[in-house]
């Protein structure tokens, strides 16, 4: 304890505590890199860790309640009172006591000393959790709420992980562990909090660092323009063609004026022929060049959308399992297919039509002003109404596009869910119900789409009406002028002017309705960027790249939860030596597969460290790391491809003989050879056409071919009969020789080669040692073995009965 007082951290003179915690401070770069979780001024000259800057009132409370001879170590600011009301509460932990500050407590504070605490834990409820101290000696593994305990502080899941660290610290200090070592663990938890961008939730490169995602995400359109850039030459050429067609299209009304005012009254047949010839040439150029332009636009548009789709799909491959846990397959497919097309059409409109329409608008206005400025001003009357209407329309339509997409995503989700599961639907004669469910969601989409179409169809028609009224003004006033003062405006001029007016309203209409496609594309872009900007799995092509992994695995203080409502792994510490064959046993939901998930780096958001050969697995290049691991799952995934390619999956350069050899090792060669198309047999989607045991042996062959340093088996024989099990078991035993192997098994008989057993229960390691040691311990493993021996006997006798 004294050491803490002798080594105060650097006194921070900055008064702007807010800046020091976040990424916005430009004046204090050094604070951002040096333990950003020290967001408060030192308390009595000693820095302490905190998740939030404490207010002056909070500091006064600390001054008032913490005696001079105690050292404040850290505070955790919470958000709920013990009575479940939103409130500014905080936990303050010193070297001698634990203080809970909550205005609903008597006197606003509750104090507890370490010596009475036997166990401290966070009990998670639904949307909230409580820090509990148990005072009962017998509470070794879990807190028994029927015994003496204190419900110390309540908080939401927002700070649950920090309270976890606090509970772990309190319990260990109460047990007499070293305070400095324990503080390092607590500080690591605080540091992790500051490694997350408060804006977008992505991981930062270091605590308090600026978020690359938020910095660069200033304009969605800017990002999309990046996809257009490679085709700029083609698009500029298209634009040039557009200018030609636009310029040429301005000619016919003028020719009309010439014909009506000069050629026809004069009866000049020669001039008539010239005019018709000019008009013919104009139309040939207009439509000929237009066709070339349309073709080139289609080509460039397709290329843009293909690039965008490639990028979205590529990124989708690199996204974390956490993303897929929370995002339906349907919505991902929808983004790759529908949204990219939507953006394609919009981008082409932006890069082409906008330019064309703009030039057209300017050209017409210039010509109209040159012809008659008074009539031109009259024709501009409807424009402000159209502009205001477009703004209102944009605001109204945006939510509809969002809603339509959600409804359509739901429909796609039903498809991706039910079409692959068609066998189950048929087996349960659920076709009618399945159709009704689809119809229900499709009807919802229909209803929303119809609501949107009321607006989307109404607006263009209103615009059309207003514009037509504009031409009526020209007819009315212009016509009157032609009748009253033909020397001022001729009939030909009026007809020609009306042609230009209708042409002028074209671009006006276009810009008015652009908002519709803009809003739709903006929605699509947001969803696509949701994938493109999502945090990928780290370290692809980066990080350490050792020659080979030896296979020493170490879990250090691992805590993990899929979501914050339930802790899946608590304080897991395991050491596995190279070449060890480790069996993980435990009841369903105990956290066995989660251990493998973390080792596979499907989830990186855990507290603590996992080391392989002394290196943190987060620092190893992901591609190399996974290439060194063979993973055989309970339900092996096969692709709609030949057996040969399925075995060679992930081993692109494997020779034919090595693939046959791998199949041999996996006890798969014999059954493959018996198939009519043997290795060329094309499997159905997800491997239909093979039995579960056959699929499993193919997945073992895949692992054999990969020649990994480390092997994981997750219930590899759980769903096969005894005979297939023995075939698979023999294949596994050949495969695991000399490799670090972790096997999860419900059937403990499959672990007979294991030299180490880990027993997991409720996310904690409760027993670990050799099978003999655990049998001697007569704990959970012993009980599981006894239960299994009995059930195996029953199973065996049943199988024999059936055989007889």
Partner 1 sequence: MARLYIDNDMARFTRKDITLVDMELYDGRKFENLEPRRLFPLSGLEKYITLLDEDGVERGIIRDMKTLPEKERATIEECLDEYYLIPKVTKITDCKEKYGVLRIWAQTNCGDVVIEIRNILHGIKLIYGTRVQLRDVNDNRYEISNINELDSRSRRLIDSFL
Q: What are the residues binding partner 1 (CB under 8 A)?
A: 80, 84-87, 125-128, 130, 144-146, 149, 151, 156-158, 160, 199-201, 213-214, 217, 326-328, 331, 398-399, 402-403, 406, 409, 526, 530, 533, 563-565
Q: Identify which of residues 159 and 735 has a Cβ nearer to partner 1 in the complex.
A: 159
Instruction: Report the alpha-carbon distance of residue 506 to residue 772 in Å, rounded.
Output: 87
Q: Identify which of residues 436 and 793 has a Cβ nearer to partner 1 in the complex.
A: 436
Q: In the bound complex, what is the minimum distance in angstroms from residue 336's beta carbon to partner 1?
A: 16
The residue assigned the tokens 């929808």 is 334
Q: In the bound complex, what is the minimum distance in angstroms from residue 552's beta carbon to partner 1?
A: 35
Q: In the bound complex, what is the minimum distance in angstroms from residue 463's beta carbon to partner 1?
A: 23
Q: Identify which of residues 84 and 113 has a Cβ nearer to partner 1 in the complex.
A: 84
Q: Identify which of residues 157 and 359 has a Cβ nearer to partner 1 in the complex.
A: 157
Q: Identify which of residues 130 and 512 has a Cβ nearer to partner 1 in the complex.
A: 130
Q: Identify which of residues 124 and 544 has a Cβ nearer to partner 1 in the complex.
A: 124
Residue 326's Cβ-count burial label (10 Å; 0-12, 13-18, 19+) is exposed
Q: Identify which of residues 95 and 311 has a Cβ nearer to partner 1 in the complex.
A: 311
Burial 352-361 (b: 16+ CB within 10 A, else e): bbebbbebbb
Q: Identify which of residues 449 and 526 has a Cβ nearer to partner 1 in the complex.
A: 526
The residue assigned the tokens 């298209």 is 238
Q: In the bound complex, what is the minimum distance in angstroms from residue 329's beta carbon to partner 1?
A: 13
- List Cβ<8 Å contacts ≥24 apart for 232-237: 234/296, 234/299, 234/300, 235/300, 235/351, 235/352, 237/296
Instruction: Report the alpha-carbon distance of residue 585 to residue 279 in Å, rounded.
Output: 86
Q: In the bound complex, what is the minimum distance in angstroms from residue 145's beta carbon to partner 1?
A: 5
Q: In the bound complex, what is the minimum distance in angstroms from residue 201's beta carbon to partner 1?
A: 5
Half-sphere exposure of 176 (CA within 13 A, CB side): 0
Q: In the bound complex, what is the minimum distance in angstroms from residue 167's beta carbon to partner 1?
A: 17
Q: In the bound complex, what is the minimum distance in angstroms from residue 536's beta carbon to partner 1?
A: 15
Instruction: Report the alpha-carbon distance of residue 334 to residue 355 in Å, rounded.
Output: 30
Answer whether 596's CB lies under 8 Å from 714's CB: yes
Q: In the bound complex, what is the minimum distance in angstroms from residue 78's beta carbon to partner 1?
A: 12
Select from 52, 118, 120, 66 the least CA-distant residue to 95: 66
Q: Identify which of residues 216 and 374 has a Cβ nearer to partner 1 in the complex.
A: 216
Q: In the bound complex, what is the minimum distance in angstroms from residue 524's beta carbon to partner 1?
A: 14
Give the full edge-to-edge strand order of the sheet including 569-576: 569-576, 553-560, 607-612, 615-616
Instruction: Report the alpha-carbon distance of residue 64 to residue 53 in Å, rounded.
Output: 18
Burial 465-495 (b: 16+ CB within 10 A, else e): ebbeebbeebeeebeebbeeeeeebbbbbbb
Tell me the Cα Rg of the chain: 36
The residue assigned the tokens 């010839």 is 277
Select from 693, 321, 738, 724 the least CA-distant residue to 538: 321
Q: Identify which of residues 404 and 576 has a Cβ nearer to partner 1 in the complex.
A: 404
- The helix or strand, by DSSP H or E, that contains position 560, with its residue range, turns out to be strand 553-560
Half-sphere exposure of 768 (CA within 13 A, CB side): 12
Q: In the bound complex, what is the minimum distance in angstroms from residue 406's beta carbon to partner 1?
A: 6
Alpha carbon 733 to chain centroid distance?
Answer: 39
Q: Identify which of residues 213 and 722 has a Cβ nearer to partner 1 in the complex.
A: 213
């Amino acid at each position: 304890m004294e050491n803490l007082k002798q080594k105060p951290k650097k006194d921070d003179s900055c008064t702007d505590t807010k800046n020091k915690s976040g990424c916005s401070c430009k004046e204090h770069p050094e604070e951002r890199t040096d333990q950003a979780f020290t967001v408060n001024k030192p308390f009595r000259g000693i820095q302490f860790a905190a998740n939030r800057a404490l207010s002056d009132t909070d500091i006064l409370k600390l001054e008032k309640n913490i005696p001079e001879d105690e050292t404040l170590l850290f505070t955790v600011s919470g958000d709920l009172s013990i009575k479940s009301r939103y409130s500014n509460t905080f936990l303050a932990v010193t070297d001698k006591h634990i203080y809970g500050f909550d205005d609903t407590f008597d006197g606003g504070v509750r104090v507890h000393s370490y010596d009475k605490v036997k166990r401290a834990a966070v009990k998670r409820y639904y949307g909230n959790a409580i820090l509990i101290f148990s005072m009962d000696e017998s509470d070794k593994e879990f807190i028994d709420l029927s015994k003496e305990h204190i419900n110390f502080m309540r908080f939401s899941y927002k700070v649950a992980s920090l309270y976890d660290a606090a509970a772990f610290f309190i319990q260990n200090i109460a047990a007499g562990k070293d305070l400095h070592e324990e503080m390092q663990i607590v500080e690591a938890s605080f540091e992790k909090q500051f490694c997350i961008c408060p804006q977008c939730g992505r991981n930062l490169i270091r605590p308090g660092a600026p978020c690359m995602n938020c910095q660069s995400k200033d304009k969605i359109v800017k990002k999309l323009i990046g996809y257009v850039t490679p085709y700029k030459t083609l698009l500029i050429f298209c634009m040039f063609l557009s200018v030609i067609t636009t310029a040429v299209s301005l000619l016919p009304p003028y020719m009309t004026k010439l014909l009506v005012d000069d050629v026809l009254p004069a009866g000049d047949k020669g001039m008539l022929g010239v005019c018709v010839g000019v008009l013919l040439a104009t139309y040939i150029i207009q439509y000929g060049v237009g066709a070339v332009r349309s073709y080139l636009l289609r080509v460039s548009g397709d290329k843009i959308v293909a690039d965008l789709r490639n990028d979205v799909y590529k990124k989708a491959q690199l996204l974390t399992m956490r993303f897929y846990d929370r995002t339906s397959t349907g919505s991902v497919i929808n983004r790759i297919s529908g949204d990219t097309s939507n953006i394609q059409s919009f981008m082409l409109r932006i890069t082409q039509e906008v330019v064309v329409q703009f030039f057209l608008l300017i050209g017409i206005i210039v010509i109209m002003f040159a012809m008659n400025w008074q009539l031109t001003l009259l024709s501009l009357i409807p424009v402000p109404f159209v502009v205001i209407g477009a703004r209102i329309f944009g605001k109204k339509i945006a939510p509809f596009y969002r809603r339509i997409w959600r409804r359509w995503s739901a429909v796609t989700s039903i498809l991706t869910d039910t079409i692959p599961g068609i066998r189950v639907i048929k087996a349960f004669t659920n076709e009618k119900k399945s159709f009704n469910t689809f119809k229900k969601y499709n009807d919802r989409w229909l209803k929303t789409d119809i609501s949107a179409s009321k607006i989307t169809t109404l607006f263009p028609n209103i615009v059309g009406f207003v514009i037509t009224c504009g031409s009526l003004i020209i007819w009315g006033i212009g016509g009157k002028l032609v009748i009253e003062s033909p020397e001022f405006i001729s009939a030909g001029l009026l007809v020609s002017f009306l042609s230009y007016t209708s042409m002028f309203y074209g671009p006006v209409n276009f810009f008015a309705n652009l908002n519709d496609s803009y809003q739709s594309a903006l929605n699509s872009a947001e969803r696509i960027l949701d994938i493109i900007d999502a945090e990928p799995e780290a370290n692809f092509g980066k990080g350490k790249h050792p020659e080979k992994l030896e296979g020493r695995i170490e879990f250090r203080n691992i805590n993990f939860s899929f979501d914050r409502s339930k802790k899946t792994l608590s304080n897991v510490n395991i050491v596995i030596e190279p070449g060890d064959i480790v069996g993980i046993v435990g009841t369903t939901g105990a956290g066995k597969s989660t251990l493998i998930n973390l080792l596979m780096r499907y989830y990186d958001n855990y507290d603590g460290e996992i080391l392989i050969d002394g290196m943190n697995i987060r620092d190893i290049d992901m591609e190399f790391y996974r290439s060194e691991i063979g993973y055989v799952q309970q339900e092996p995934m096969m692709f709609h491809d030949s057996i040969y390619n399925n075995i060679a999956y992930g081993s692109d350069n494997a020779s034919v003989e090595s693939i046959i050899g791998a199949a041999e090792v996996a006890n798969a060669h014999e059954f493959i050879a018996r198939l009519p198309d043997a290795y060329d047999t094309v499997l159905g989607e997800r491997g239909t056409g093979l039995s579960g045991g056959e699929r499993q042996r193919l997945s073992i062959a895949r692992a054999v071919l990969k020649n990994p340093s480390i092997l994981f088996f997750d219930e590899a024989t759980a769903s096969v009969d005894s005979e297939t099990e023995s075939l698979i078991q023999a294949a596994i035993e050949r495969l695991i020789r000399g490799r670090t192997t972790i096997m999860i098994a419900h059937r403990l008989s499959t672990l007979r080669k294991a030299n180490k057993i880990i027993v997991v229960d409720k996310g904690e390691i409760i027993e670990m040692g050799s099978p003999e040691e655990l049998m001697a311990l007569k704990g959970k493993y012993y009980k599981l073995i006894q239960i299994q021996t009995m059930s195996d006997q029953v199973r065996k006798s049943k199988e024999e009965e059936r055989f007889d």
